[in-house]
Amino acid sequence: MKQVIELKINGGGYEVAAEPRDTLLEMLRQLGFKGTKEACGMGECGACTILMDGVPVLACLTLAVGAQGKEITTIEGLSAGHQLHPVQKAFVEQGAIQCGFCTPGMILAAKALLDDTPDPGEEDINRALGGHLCRCTGYVKIRKAIQTAGRMMRSDS
């Protein structure tokens, strides 16, 4: 049976009717946050990654009811108006985007990494990208973009 739940998404409050088994991914897309991609739906590709209280989470494996009271950040919440987040800028500058399907999840995972580890090494980046599949770029440009974003964020702070 559906119940009305409240979700905090990108700083705004949303009420949505959800079944106990509905995933956060379904609710986000229903609310129009379609930057959160659905691909495998089984926790294997990382395309549905969002941040929950700053931590990367797979929205396809998260129940919407369990997301109540948490701060949810989707890719739509990353830029400040027309001002792209440094990670977004770096992905564009480094050509780390092709079809773009994996990109929102990659960028959010990268943001969480850089918030925690401002100057990440190769291993930190590999760990952050673990579970994120990209069929297009070959990962080299994505890694470079994360290093570039780290430099941008360090010089801004």
Q: Which chain residues interact with ligand FES by CB under 6 A?
A: 38-41, 43-48, 58, 60, 97-103, 134-137
Considering the complex, what minimum distance in angstroms separates the CB of residue 157 from ligand FES?
Answer: 29
Which is nearest to 56 in space by CA: 96, 12, 99, 110? 110
**Residue in the block written with tokens 């209280």:** 53
Residue in the block written with tokens 């990440």: 120
Q: How far is residue 120 from each of residues 53, 68, 117, 125, 142, measured CA to CA in Å?
A: 21, 31, 6, 6, 14
If DSSP codes are grouped into helix, strand and coil, which group holds residue 82?
Answer: coil
Helix (H, G, I), strand (E, B) or coil at 65: helix
Question: Which CB atom, from 19 or from 44, has the smaller least distance to ligand FES?
Answer: 44
Q: Name which of 23 and 147 has its Cβ closer to ligand FES.
A: 23
Closest distance to ligand FES from the beta carbon of 156 (Å): 26
Closer CB to ligand FES, residue 85 or residue 141?
141
Comparing CB distances to ligand FES, the nearer of 11 and 61 is 61
CB of 37 to ligand FES, least distance (A): 7
